Structure 1
Amino acid sequence: MAKPMTKTQLVAALAEEMEADKKTASAALEAMTAIITREVAAGGSVTLPSVGKIYCRERPERMVRNPATGEQFKKDADKVVKVTIAKALKDSVNG
């Protein structure tokens, strides 16, 4: 398995793809991250064409078990961020 791309590598690749400097690419990445974070935190979702959909899902209150002690306890309801991968991306990876 390949090592994950770092932020520095992503900014460099984005700058090359945009034919811009790294400062502009970094600002674009930061703006995109801020928009996605704000929208998902507000309960909405963001669809990135050919990549997937990022959304927030609420999990109900439930019983969980501590694996170290085996003790069961009630965990409060919470929210979790989910990503559904687009078919186009799946096909390009598998095809």
Structure 2
Amino acid sequence: MTKKDIAQAVAARTDVSASAAEEIIGAAFDVIAETLAKGDDVRLAGFGSFETRERAARTGRNPQTGEEIAIAASTSVGFKAAAQLKRAVNG
């Protein structure tokens, strides 16, 4: 399902046009991304929580040549589903 598909589903369930729903969904995703970029967590009740996780620098290996390469430290995003979402998915 794409962002456009989500916007169309929201528009069908509400009294909002598809283009307005797409703008709202886009704005919500932007707010989530900006909040995570600042290092803050995002918690959506009944859905789950997004958090940033620091990954340490490490040495990797090129599988084709076997050459060692340095992999820089980075920040990744993690998601943990809420119990309510897990129940909905599992029936």
2:68 counterpart of 1:72: yes
TM-score (norm 1): 0.84
Secondary structure of 1:50's counterpart equals coil
1:28 to 6, 24, 30: 24
Percent of pairs with identical residues? 34
- 1:90 corresponds to: 86
In structure 2, which of residues 36, 43, 47 is the aligned counterpart of residue 47 of structure 1?
A: 43
> Where does structure 2 lack aligned partners over 5 or more consecutive residues?
none
Moved over 3 A (4+): none
Aligned to 1:16: 12
- Whole-Å Cα distance in 1 between the matches of residues 46 and 55 of structure 2? 27
Cα drift, residue 7 of structure 1: 2.5
TM-score computed with the length of structure 2 as normaliser: 0.88
1:7 aligns with 2:3: yes
How far apart in 2 are the matches of 1:8 and 1:77?
A: 33
Kindly indicate whether the alpha-carbon contact (under 8 Å) linking 1:18 and 1:25 is maintained by their aligned counterparts in 2: no
| Alpha-carbon distance, 1:70 to partner | 2.0
| Separation of aligned partners in 1, 2:47 and 2:65 | 40
Q: Structure 1: give runs of 5+ residues left out of the alignment.
A: none
Q: Would you say the 8 A contact 2:3–2:25 is kept in 1?
A: no
When the two structures are aligned, how many residues end up with a matched partner? 91
